[in-house]
Structure 1
């Protein structure tokens, strides 16, 4: 069914373009053409932000993603540089705030805060105090009277600005008008159908801004690696769900500005590329906060100098810094939640406490955001965007200002400094 939808979409798109090919400099027709609009109300475009977690831009154009290829070809596309570290939660929060992790406070998938001893942030944490350093785009939208809905975007189940009192319920705070708490039991068909159901509503309770999140490609990349047959099958599968969304929008007569992104790419890893801390570091000197694609450390009491002497020494395949002395290009190392010592291996190497017993291979991210393997996806398609434009790589801090522009939010003008260099290539209007 998914394959058939993708094929029908591509054929319909080709027919539409053959009849009415946009001239250079004019906006492209949206892929979800309002074919049934004559029998329905005239709908204003909805803005839909779609994340395909772990999708590298090189996955396009290989015959596995006809829907995404068509959206890219007839819209605006680019490789996108993620923020550092190239982890899921930090980059998803950057995409909806426009700030790098060192400023928005979601500095890792797992964090500690010196002001909150005994607590640990994980990807299941919805206590708003962890998320309060930056305001996400759906809160800006709600405050401006733009109804929003979120299908599984990281942080969207957090009542922003609310307070958690002890172990009791969160008080107050702003959420999207419609949202769902992340659950792997909600499959991709249900996710797409939920978005379409929101858009079937009467105009007064229909969202104008929607987020949608898919984790399929990230999971396949971790489990099997970015060049695996499992990932290739996942690409065909996820492309079918994008086709399902586009086809559903067309059936509703709902024009849409689609902004399709990923948070990071994926690098191949294996048991042959492991840095085992126990080979050179006394476990009594430190507590490992996070390991894998990078390692962050808290020294044990009285052992700062001893830990530094080992960590900061030159080492093959890995470089370590004091948090405040990391290279400026990372824009990382000042936030209180970043541990005192941070080590970054070469892309594809894994930092563990001890050497693995058996052989394994897979994929990971979190590495240097300048690494080509970490590049992320960007596709923009719809009535607001230019047609057939391919841009050079840009930073993912541009996405939130772009969304503000599409939604005509009060903060759009202030965020134009970031967006301005790309604005003529993205949008045909000034």
Structure 2
């Protein structure tokens, strides 16, 4: 899926560009964006015969509770120990660590886009676009003009803007293959794979494992069920490596292993109830498009969003609302610019950002819940995930600073030596991570 059809409610916006190269700093705020390609340049690069396999393991970050023996502390001093951020450190994962030892790793993690949710980040990884530009601004949202609802079962091309990597590869006359990746689904019907497809080897493939995200939402990131899921993922990575080695191509194939977001433990004591704001303003359930961790509100016509924001913040800061100071309400245009979460009509006018580990609900219930969540500010360290690159252009045992996942699109097009579509990544970023292209 891609840019073939656009919803009428989606305001066309120019993809922002910036000429400065990306900073090597690990700070989220220091990462610049520029367009990866000049759309006026008709010349394509000569392609290589590289094969890239991207695997995405969901939720590779660990959020350790205050009662745990460890804590997330991020220090800028290089003399202090690095923070623990990945599931790969919680249980033996020999195959994943083999890729790390013989490849390149983002030492303090890969930075997801905001909101740190599944579908927005999946599609940012393969388009190089922030959600405001690729259109998937949440896992669930409504079109403000037609009232149509997007869910994780919505496969119509009109929702999915931008150009994903498999389309970019195909436009070069090369073969691409994708499995279980949001934005790539089609209605297949009754269909038998022709024999000729079995012998065609794509130059680009994607694969997505839903574990351990599935378990993390139920039991939180520190449960033994999570470590079991990670061990299972490691075994599958081992099968992939074994298969490539048996065919004598392991060192020639590029493997990029990434996650889409982290996860933090949540419990009932960290709740904020919108009904507690009733003395200041009644927030109707019909206004709320999503509750937590990203609170998204679209008030009815005739009610100024600015007035709603003012009343909500007044109540939250009054000291009379349970955990009120852990939720901040913004007009979307007043969100921190580093979030890149303004330039789309699909984004509701009012956005609430809740502190790490807190949740927003409409009203109090007797339901008891302790699990895991993500979707928080992408500056929160527990939202980080992994980046591991292994192959001819990744140096062995190299550590690189953290970077945002919108840079991955240009990384892949650079390895394949093909022309990419305009995007929010930096055209110069690949040279900071990759070895020179051998071709």
State TM-score, norm by structure 2: 0.74
Q: Does 2:56 correspond to 1:51?
A: yes
Distance 2:245 2:417 in 1: 24
118-127 or 275-284, which deviates more: 275-284
RMSD between aligned residues: 2.7
Pick from 239, 243, 251 the counterpart of residue 238 of structure 2: 243
Change (3 A) 1:352 1:211: same
Confirm or deny: 8 A CA contact 1:401 1:416 kept in the other structure. Answer: no
Per-residue deviation at 1:55? 1.4
SS of the residue corresponding to residue 288 of structure 2 reads: strand
Distance 1:417 1:362 in 2: 34
Structure 1 unaligned regions, length at least 5: 1-42, 159-168, 170-178, 182-193
- Residue in structure 2 matched with residue 85 of structure 1 by the alignment: 115
Q: Does 2:141 correspond to 1:106?
A: no
Pick from 236, 253, 258 the counterpart of residue 255 of structure 2: 258
Q: Does 2:397 correspond to 1:388?
A: yes
Change (3 A) 1:296 1:245: same
Distance 2:433 2:236 in 1: 28
- Residue in structure 2 matched with residue 292 of structure 1 by the alignment: 292
Distance 1:363 1:238 in 2: 19
Question: 1:2-401 to 2 correspondence within 5 Å?
Answer: 45-56=50-61, 57-78=85-106, 79-115=109-145, 117-131=146-160, 133-157=161-185, 201-202=198-199, 205-254=200-249, 255-281=252-278, 282-284=282-284, 287-304=287-304, 307-313=308-314, 314=317, 315-401=324-410
Moved over 6 A (4+): 197-200, 414-417
Distance 2:397 2:430 in 1: 15
Per-residue deviation at 1:283? 3.8
Deviations 1:60-113 (A, max 9, x none): 234421111110111001111111110111111110111111111111111222
Structure 2 unaligned regions, length at least 5: 1-47, 62-84, 318-323
Distance 2:206 2:387 in 1: 15
SS of the residue corresponding to residue 149 of structure 2 reads: coil
Change (3 A) 1:402 1:341: same
Per-residue deviation at 1:264? 0.5
Distance 1:328 1:199 in 2: 49
- Residue in structure 1 matched with residue 23 of structure 2 by the alignment: none
Distance 1:316 1:332 in 2: 22
Distance 2:348 2:301 in 1: 14
Deviations 1:8-40 (A, max 9, x none): xxxxxxxxxxxxxxxxxxxxxxxxxxxxxxxxx
Confirm or deny: 8 A CA contact 1:323 1:334 kept in the other structure. Answer: no
Confirm or deny: 8 A CA contact 2:126 2:409 kept in the other structure. Answer: yes
Bigger helix share: 1
- Residue in structure 1 matched with residue 38 of structure 2 by the alignment: none
Per-residue deviation at 1:199? 12
247-256 or 365-374, which deviates more: 247-256
Confirm or deny: 8 A CA contact 2:129 2:423 kept in the other structure. Answer: no
Pick from 405, 408, 411 the counterpart of residue 402 of structure 1: 411
Would you say how many aligned residue pairs link Structure 1 and Structure 2?
Answer: 350
Confirm or deny: 8 A CA contact 1:284 1:300 kept in the other structure. Answer: no
Distance 1:284 1:234 in 2: 39
